[in-house]
Amino acid sequence: MENLEAFMIKEKEEIVDYIASSKFKDKEGNPVPWKIKSITADENQRIRKDCYINIPINGKRGRYTKDFNTQKYLVLLATECVVYPDLQNAKLQDFYKVKGVEQLLGKLLKPGEYDDLMEKIQEVNGYSLEEKVEEAKN
């Protein structure tokens, strides 16, 4: 029988610093890093489950097809993974005159910065962009 102790580990929460934008600086003028953590596959599955929507099939009464809302998934993933700044903080949202994480991210980041943040969040969670590129080529 093989030794299963290698799989019996308590996962330590790892937090990664990431400069999402150079416009947020501390008192010394250094960029302030965002803090990103990974989630478990179970947590990811719960998030993904919330992102499916039913779309009625034309001409088939009472029949639906499922569609995945990628934008909602990325926002929910960011909500879970971004530890700092606290994207759900009411004071921060009030400062930018927005309600909700999606609107706040839209105010905090430029479009490219937003895309880069989402890529980093996926990388922290074990997704590899290189793998996706290779998969798309095949």
Integer Cα distance of 105 and 113 in angstroms: 10
Does 64 map to a domain? Answer: no
Does 48 map to a domain? Answer: no
Does 116 map to a domain? Answer: yes
Does 51 map to a domain? Answer: no
CA–chain centroid gap for 31, Å, is: 21
**39-74 tens-digit pLDDT:** 999 999 999 999 998 888 888 888 888 899 999 999
Does 60 map to a domain? Answer: no
**92-127 tens-digit pLDDT:** 999 999 999 999 999 999 999 999 999 999 999 998
Does 59 map to a domain? Answer: no
Does 49 map to a domain? Answer: no
Strand order in the sheet with 82-84: 15-18, 34-37, 82-84
Does 20 map to a domain? Answer: yes
pTM of this prediction? 0.79
The parent domain of residue 20 ranges over 12-37+74-137
**How many folded domains does the chain comprise?**
1
CATH number at 87 reads 3.30.2220.30
